[in-house]
Structure 1
Amino acid sequence: MVIDIEGVDFAYGAGKQSVPVLKDINLTIKEGQITAIIGQTGSGKSTLVQQLNALLKPSKGQVVIGAHKISKNTKEKYLAPIRSAVGMVFQFPESQLFAATVLEDVMYGPKNFGASEEEAKKAAVQALKQVGFDDRLIDQSPFNLSGGQMRRVALAGVLAMNPDTMVFDEPAAGLDPQGQAELLALLKDLREAGKTIVLISHQMEQVLALADQVIVMKAGQVEANETTAELFARPKDWFADQHLDLPETIAFQKELAKAGFTFDHLAKTIEDLADQLKGQLDLAKLSKEEVSAHE
Structure 2
Amino acid sequence: MVINIEGLDFAYGAGKQTVPVLKDINLTIESGKITAIIGQTGSGKSTLVQQLNALLKPTAGQVVVGEQVVTSQTKEKDLAPIRAKVGMVFQFPESQLFAPTVLEDVMYGPLNFGASQKEAKEAAEKALSAVGFDQKLYEQSPFNLSGGQMRRVALAGVLAMNPETMVFDEPAAGLDPAGQAELLQLLKDLRDSGKTIVLISHQMEQVLALADQVVVMKDGQVAAAEAVDTLFSRPKAWFEEQHLDLPETIAFQKEMEAAGFTFDHLAKTGADLAAQLKGQLDLSKLGGDHHE
Q: Which residue matches 2:168? A: 168
1:91 is the counterpart of 2:91: yes
For residues 54 and 71 of structure 2, what CA distance do their matches in structure 1 show?
9
Map 1:224-239 to 2 at 5 A: 224-239=224-239
Aligned partner of residue 41 in structure 2, secondary structure: coil
Give per-residue Cα distances to partners, 1:216-266, cap 9 Å, x unaligned.
111111111111111111111111111100111000001111222211111
CA positional deviation for 1:23: 0.7
CA positional deviation for 1:280: 2.9
Give per-residue Cα distances to partners, 1:93-148, cap 9 Å, x unaligned.
23321111111000000001111101100100000011011112212221222221
Q: Which residue matches 1:198? A: 198
Q: Which residue matches 1:151? A: 151
Contact 1:34–1:196 (8 Å) recurs in 2: yes
Q: Which residue matches 2:76? A: 76
1:223 is the counterpart of 2:223: yes
Q: Which residue matches 1:103? A: 103
Contact 2:148–2:174 (8 Å) recurs in 1: no
Aligned partner of residue 263 in structure 1, secondary structure: coil
- 4+ long deviations beyond 3 Å: none
Q: Which amino acid aligns with 1:240?
A: E
Contact 1:92–1:171 (8 Å) recurs in 2: no
Q: Which residue matches 1:274? A: 274
Note the aligned Cα RMSD (angstroms): 1.5
% identity of equivalent residues: 80
Aligned partner of residue 140 in structure 1, secondary structure: coil
Map 1:1-295 to 2 at 5 A: 1-281=1-281, 284=282
Q: Which amino acid aligns with 1:4?
A: N
| Structure 1 stretches lacking a partner, 5+ long | 287-295
For residues 17 and 95 of structure 2, what CA distance do their matches in structure 1 show?
31
Q: Which amino acid aligns with 1:41?
A: T
After TM superposition, the score normalised by the length of structure 1 is: 0.94
For residues 74 and 90 of structure 1, what CA distance do their matches in structure 2 show?
24
Deviates more, 1:136-145 or 1:202-211: 136-145
